[in-house]
Chains A and B, each alone.
Chain A
């Protein structure tokens, strides 16, 4: 009895000591670390793509800590799972900002997830980096967009197709999955093509549901559309795994890339891994980064990435580069301003430059979009892309496209004197509405 009482009291003592130590360590950590929030889906439909970006942020945090952290403090990643559920993105963002008190968030993939987070980061004055190519028409004070705006992907892709190297294409099929990004992008492209003198009858627009698998009719229509005496190309905003049966059907119906090339905006190394790409050779994709880019910094990045994931076959892709650029810019801005507070980091971001993985430099502009080069790659039989064309120097990301009448009069500029993400040049009004 006595001994058991002794045991109990001893146990209690250890437990309380442990609790004390634990709470102490939490306090000391809170004081000593800079918290980096990671808001990427780790389950649900988007998990396939977003898990990679979570790992990228973790790797970047790791690397930064190896270099001694920031401002003499270690970085600490706080990972949450919004589970591909759009309203949950807002809740998790609130949790990160209000409860975890993170200094910066890296996250989001789909446009709808970003739109869901916007009101939260604006209300709580957070800072978010969004790393995926998107349809533009937005610039929030609290978000930096490190993926491509339409003029950094879609427009150069069309320019390439219309050039002699791209085959002097005169007729276009715009094929997309039926949701926001393809619809907005195609609206912009249609208006751009018309401004380049392409006739209405030379444009065919087609939408299909998510996960569409019976492409017979559409591919046969594309084939017929391509037989009208003018070089034809397909601009594809088809999303996710619907691409596999689409490309298969193209190959089966005998449409080779030399006859009717397909240029895709949502197909990268990650999407091609695990697909037999032999029948796809020669089809194109437009991005700001390809894994095959030849530069020392890229070799180094891939090596670190494959070591971090312990997988020598692991590929890298464009949204990863955007995360890489965003993270490095943020780190540089924190060091420049000597603080992690949003109000001092944000102005320090403007004009900041970091090397991008393709060998040039990326610049952050006052409209919260990047200046970076645009590349066109051809699919190879090993699932990689061969870069066949690139812009000379960087292209400045344009938040509000010039090719839609209602947004051509709007500009985004967060520096004085405009200080607005949607300033109407004609009326002089800042609408302030982002969502």
Chain B
């Protein structure tokens, strides 16, 4: 509480200044244009002095100050050591292009070591954000206004309250309106009389904003008044009820998302292992190739990061698919019907591919960027938000699954493939080129693994070991789902994902994984053919 008051103090003074200095503002801002003055103000080492600088800029309230604060927050403000002037710097190759933050005039190129960054830490970041929110309250964009109201409600005080109250009547956007009501209720709850507090609880009980929960939780420990305490408890119970519901939705989503990753990893193997019966230990490396394809495409076209994944998906399919066909023609073809030798040979291939990647790229992980549209989260309400990358990957995995199903069921190639798997001799005598079908089938499975690698590059580290981390999971899913059955793979992947995520909060990440493995071992004892058993070449042998 003490801290809050202390923090509020400069803002109160600030606001008073703001009110009284309004006529003199023109004079003040013409004054502020001096780069020198800003440079001495922002060149300070002490955090407290920098905090005062924010207050001063905020008091001034002009566009130029807003600009300076925005640049400061994004870390683009520097002091040039030699001339002691304030500059903005942008990286261009090895050097930095500097310019005047006020006029925007270009001031040439300098080395990094000749610049000193204007200091910032998390405390200042908070202060700058609060200061900038005052500008954003007047913004045309309702999203910006909403963000600003939320930012201000983190620490609402006597000086900011009238601004919010003034906004309520004019506000047209319902979301912003709701946020404003909550913010004002929050203020009343924290600073008002006991009656006001009780009154405001009704509004607060309907809000999912985490700040409200924070406020209620901390008030719970300090409130003495019995009636008020009861009110707080019942409001918190309301919040808890809703949070439990959202948590359940969230856990389900996490489970499906993990399931979709398992599905992507396993679906290629469902073809090579499930349908063809090849124990393909190099399956993980096909995913790794897909992930590296993404990396190569991003490095080749650095300006196309946003579109890179759309190029990477077909490219990864082609790259991993051709490597798959090559492996089948050169190695696996000679080993059909000898599972142990196939296992050893493909394990060897997986080591060769890993080492190749280590030599060509480097043993270090490579940085794959995430496009803007896949970052952040889909905010459904204050309590529930789903991360975009996971949402897309769930959709993507289902799309891959359905495409594969379509190929198997409704294309000539799929028909040939099923024919060869079910009865090779008969298929051959009907004029199907069986060895070509074998090669293409293996290529299809590998290609799909490559496509999965593109998706994985958005979730995990792209390095030589990427494949190894997923190979066990892939086999687990295929075996559990029933060898040779695509639907089985889907059900198994989603089921294992959800079970794992439901266990995790309760048992911890390490134990949850162990429990799932134990469960699968027990299950396979009971039903060796997995969830859905189907006939295939592997089963016949």
| Chain A contact residues, CB within 8 Å of chain B | 47-48, 164-168, 178, 206-209, 211-214, 216-218, 220-221, 224, 226-230, 241, 244-245, 248-249, 251-254, 257-258, 261, 274-276, 279, 281-282, 299, 312, 378, 380-382, 386, 388
A195 to B125, CA, bound (A): 31
Query: Cβ of B365: which chain A residues have Cβ within 8 Å of it?
Result: 241, 244, 274
Query: Cβ of B504: which chain A residues have Cβ within 8 Å of it?
Result: 217
Total count of chain B residues near the partner, CB < 8 A: 60
Contact of A217 with B501 at beta-carbon distance under 8 Å, contacts A229-B217, A252-B388, A261-B122 already known: yes
The 9 closest A-B pairs by CB, nearest first: A229-B218, A229-B217, A213-B460, A229-B214, A227-B210, A252-B387, A216-B254, A241-B461, A388-B121
Tell me the residues in window 104-130 of chain B with beta carbons closer than 8 Å to chain A beta carbons.
113, 117, 119-123, 125-126, 129
A279 to B370, CA, bound (A): 11
Query: Cβ of B385: which chain A residues have Cβ within 8 Å of it?
Result: 253-254
Query: Cβ of A244: which chain B residues have Cβ within 8 Å of it?
Result: 365, 460-461
Tell me the residues in window 350-402 of chain B with beta carbons closer than 8 Å to chain A beta carbons.
363-367, 369-370, 375-377, 379, 385, 387-390
B210–A209 CB distance below 8 A:
no
B375–A251 CB distance below 8 A:
yes
- Name A48's contact: one of B94, B117, B258, B363 (CB within 8 Å): B363
Contact of A248 with B251 at beta-carbon distance under 8 Å, contacts A213-B459, A253-B387 already known: no
CB distance from A12 to the nearest CB of B (A): 41
Known: A216-B387, A282-B125. 19 other contacts (CB 8 A): A48-B363, A165-B47, A209-B509, A212-B509, A213-B461, A214-B459, A217-B254, A217-B504, A229-B213, A229-B219, A230-B218, A251-B375, A252-B377, A252-B387, A253-B387, A274-B364, A282-B122, A312-B94, A388-B121
Tell me the residues in window 493-511 of chain B with beta carbons closer than 8 Å to chain A beta carbons.
501, 504-505, 508-510
21 residue pairs of the A-B complex, CB under 8 angstroms, read A47-B363, A206-B508, A206-B509, A216-B254, A216-B258, A217-B251, A217-B504, A218-B509, A221-B505, A226-B210, A229-B217, A230-B214, A249-B387, A252-B375, A252-B376, A252-B388, A253-B387, A276-B367, A312-B94, A380-B75, A386-B119
A178 to B215, CA, bound (A): 35
Query: Cβ of B258: which chain A residues have Cβ within 8 Å of it?
Result: 214, 216
A227–B214 CB distance below 8 A:
yes
Flag whether B235 is at the interface (Cβ < 8 A). no
A252 to B94, CA, bound (A): 30
A275 to B369, CA, bound (A): 9
A220–B214 CB distance below 8 A:
no
Query: Cβ of A380: which chain B residues have Cβ within 8 Å of it?
Result: 75, 117
Query: Cβ of A168: which chain B residues have Cβ within 8 Å of it?
Result: 3
A227–B213 CB distance below 8 A:
yes
CB distance from B369 to the nearest CB of A (A): 6
A252 to B465, CA, bound (A): 24
- Name A220's contact: one of B91, B210, B254 (CB within 8 Å): B254
A165 to B123, CA, bound (A): 7
B459–A245 CB distance below 8 A:
yes
Least CB separation from A244: chain B residue = B461
What's the A-B contact tally at a CB cutoff of 8 Å? 128
A281–B375 CB distance below 8 A:
no
A166 to B47, CA, bound (A): 11
CB distance from A34 to the nearest CB of B (A): 32
Query: At the interface, is chain A mostly helix, strand, loop or mixed?
Result: loop
A253–B459 CB distance below 8 A:
no
CB distance from B35 to the nearest CB of A (A): 23
CB distance from A172 to the nearest CB of B (A): 16
Least CB separation from B503: chain A residue = A217
A435 to B511, CA, bound (A): 29
A216 to B394, CA, bound (A): 14
Tell me the residues in window 385-424 of chain B with beta carbons closer than 8 Å to chain A beta carbons.
385, 387-390
Query: Cβ of A227: which chain B residues have Cβ within 8 Å of it?
Result: 210, 213-214, 217
A104 to B467, CA, bound (A): 40
Candidate in A165, A258, A261, A312 with the most chain B CB atoms within 10 angstroms: A258
Contact of A178 with B122 at beta-carbon distance under 8 Å, contacts A227-B210, A241-B463 already known: no
A216–B121 CB distance below 8 A:
no
B123–A167 CB distance below 8 A:
yes
CB distance from B116 to the nearest CB of A (A): 9
Flag whether B469 is at the interface (Cβ < 8 A). yes
B214–A275 CB distance below 8 A:
no
Flag whether B485 is at the interface (Cβ < 8 A). no
CB distance from A331 to the nearest CB of B (A): 29
Query: Cβ of B64: which chain A residues have Cβ within 8 Å of it?
Result: none
B122–A258 CB distance below 8 A:
yes
A228 to B463, CA, bound (A): 38
Query: Cβ of B121: which chain A residues have Cβ within 8 Å of it?
Result: 165, 282, 378, 388
Query: Cβ of B369: which chain A residues have Cβ within 8 Å of it?
Result: 276
A221 to B119, CA, bound (A): 32
Flag whether B261 is at the interface (Cβ < 8 A). yes
Query: Cβ of B389: which chain A residues have Cβ within 8 Å of it?
Result: 252
B251–A254 CB distance below 8 A:
no
Contact of A48 with B261 at beta-carbon distance under 8 Å, contacts A209-B509, A216-B387, A217-B505 already known: no
B122–A214 CB distance below 8 A:
no
Query: Cβ of A251: which chain B residues have Cβ within 8 Å of it?
Result: 375-376
A244 to B210, CA, bound (A): 26
- Name B250's contact: one of A166, A206, A220, A261 (CB within 8 Å): A220
Residue interface bits B212-248, CB-to-A below 8 A is 1, else 0: 0111111100000000000000000000000100010
Query: Cβ of A275: which chain B residues have Cβ within 8 Å of it?
Result: 367
Least CB separation from B370: chain A residue = A248
A254 to B375, CA, bound (A): 10
B126–A258 CB distance below 8 A:
yes
Query: Cβ of B261: which chain A residues have Cβ within 8 Å of it?
Result: 214
B510–A207 CB distance below 8 A:
yes
CB distance from A73 to the nearest CB of B (A): 36
CB distance from A238 to the nearest CB of B (A): 12
B125–A258 CB distance below 8 A:
yes
- Name B257's contact: one of A216, A257, A299 (CB within 8 Å): A216
Query: Cβ of B144: which chain A residues have Cβ within 8 Å of it?
Result: none
B459–A386 CB distance below 8 A:
no
Query: Cβ of B91: which chain A residues have Cβ within 8 Å of it?
Result: 382
Flag whether B85 is at the interface (Cβ < 8 A). no
A275 to B390, CA, bound (A): 20
Flag whether B56 is at the interface (Cβ < 8 A). no
B122–A386 CB distance below 8 A:
no
A252 to B386, CA, bound (A): 9
Flag whether B329 is at the interface (Cβ < 8 A). no
A279 to B376, CA, bound (A): 10
Query: Cβ of B210: which chain A residues have Cβ within 8 Å of it?
Result: 226-227
Flag whether B513 is at the interface (Cβ < 8 A). yes
Query: Cβ of B375: which chain A residues have Cβ within 8 Å of it?
Result: 251-252, 279
Query: Cβ of A207: which chain B residues have Cβ within 8 Å of it?
Result: 508-510
